[in-house]
Amino acid sequence: MRCANGLQQQRICKRNMGHFETTDYVDMVRYLCGQDPCLDPDRVAIFGWSYGGYATLLAMAQAPEVFRIGLAGAPVGDWRLYDTGYTERYLGLLHETPTEGDQGERRISEAYRKSCIAHFAKGFPDELNRVYITHGLLDENVHFTHTCHIINAMIEEGKPYNVLVYPGERHGLRKSKKCRLHHEAILIKTIAKALLN
Q: Give catalytic residue positions.
A: 50, 139, 171
- Note whether 50 and 61 are within 8 A (CB): no
What whole-number distance in Å separates Cα of residue 91 and Cα of residue 109?
Answer: 8
d(CA 21, CA 76): 14
How much of the chain is in helix, strand and coil states, percent to nearest 5? Answer: 45, 15, 45
DSSP 73-94: ES----GGGS-HHHHHHHH--S
Contact 45, 189 (CB under 8 A): no
Residue 135 DSSP SS3: strand
Question: Given phi > 0 = left and psi -120 to 50 = alpha, else beta, which region is 173?
Answer: left
Cα gap 111→86, rounded to integer Å: 14
